[in-house]
Amino acid sequence: MTGHFKPFSDSHAIVEVVFFFEFAGRVVFPDDIEARVTDAVSAVEGREWRYEPVKSIKVNVAGHSTPGVSQSDDGFQMVSMRSDRPEPAWQISAYRSQITLHCLEYSRWALTSKMVQKYLDAVFSTLGEQNAKVRMFGMKVLDRFVYFGELAEFSASELFDESSEFLNKSMFRSGHRWHLHTGWFEKGACDDEELLSQLSIDAAAIAPPDHRPNVGVSIDHTLSVRAVPARDLGDRYTVWSGSLDKVFERFELMHMRNKEIVCSLLNRDVCDSMNMHIK
């Protein structure tokens, strides 16, 4: 039997989707952030969340005196575990000027996007409007396929479309170890916005549970909305509680663009096997 590729899940290849925000300044956390944010996100779906503060240590050396050490909370990380196995299902990270939401239990976009909006709205409701100005935001989608077969028979053309404009011809003659990193700007949803795509594709040996050498192929696609010319997005996107509709209009566009690009990377047989087509 010749080698073949299988997606990460039976119905799709998505391992993780990350939604990220970078603010114009350092995020100001209230003193009771642990209780407030834990209560807010737990109320969304009744999931249990584990909260951990993110601390930084500063050492001050003045003259010949004994160094002073101070510790401060710079953010937090929250994790909600899967019900079927001891792995994270969702993760929220807030550190200095960045906030990210990780979905590691992806099923389909319609369901995931609704949950993401609820979780982000819950998080932002605890921070207040003083943190609302966003410099840029976006999403990252990680797809993974696993090759089963003899390494000598590995062929990238069994997974990818050789005519895709995003792929380099050299990867099709480089066996089972190669990587491709590229990026480009596209016109955004309006004249003074642009959409940055950063695409990384890697093939590398992995050790699955049966310990037989296989190859994992990852497609890491990051999309981010930026202002033109380069500056903060200003008051155009604000993210306090109840204000995410405009942000999610852009997330919907990013989702569709990611789907278009991934479909253009994969060959027709692979797309058909996952019922993945652009309408």
Q: What is the pLDDT of residues 106-135, one digit of tens each?
A: 999 999 999 999 999 999 889 877 777 788
Q: Which of 33-42, 58-67, 93-102, 213-222 has the lowest mean pLDDT?
A: 58-67
The angle subtended at Cα 21 by Cα 19 and Cα 23, nearest 5°, is 175
In this structure, are residues 100 and 92 in contact, taking their beta carbons and an 8 Å threshold?
Answer: yes
Residue 123 CB coordination number (10 Å): 23
In this structure, are residues 236 and 249 in contact, taking their beta carbons and an 8 Å threshold?
Answer: no
pLDDT for 241 beyond 60:
no
Mean pLDDT of 159-166: 96
Residues 6+ away with beta carbon under 8 Å from 6: 145, 146, 148
Q: Which of 37-41, 69-73, 138-142 has the lowest mean pLDDT?
A: 69-73
Which pLDDT score is estimated for 28?
Answer: 87
pLDDT band at 3 (very low <50, low <70, confident <90, very high): confident
Cα dihedral 95/96/100/102 (nearest 10): -10
Residues 6+ away with beta carbon under 8 Å from 145: 5, 6, 7, 8, 13, 159, 216, 217
d(CA 180, CA 249) in angstroms, rounded, equals 30
d(CA 14, CA 270) in angstroms, rounded, equals 14
Half-sphere exposure of 164 (CA within 13 A, CB side): 21
Residues 6+ away with beta carbon under 8 Å from 269: none
Cα–Cα distances in angstroms (integers) from residue 136 to residues 129, 130, 133, 247, in the given order:
17, 16, 9, 11
**Which residue in the block uniquely carries the two structure tokens 């004994």?**
66
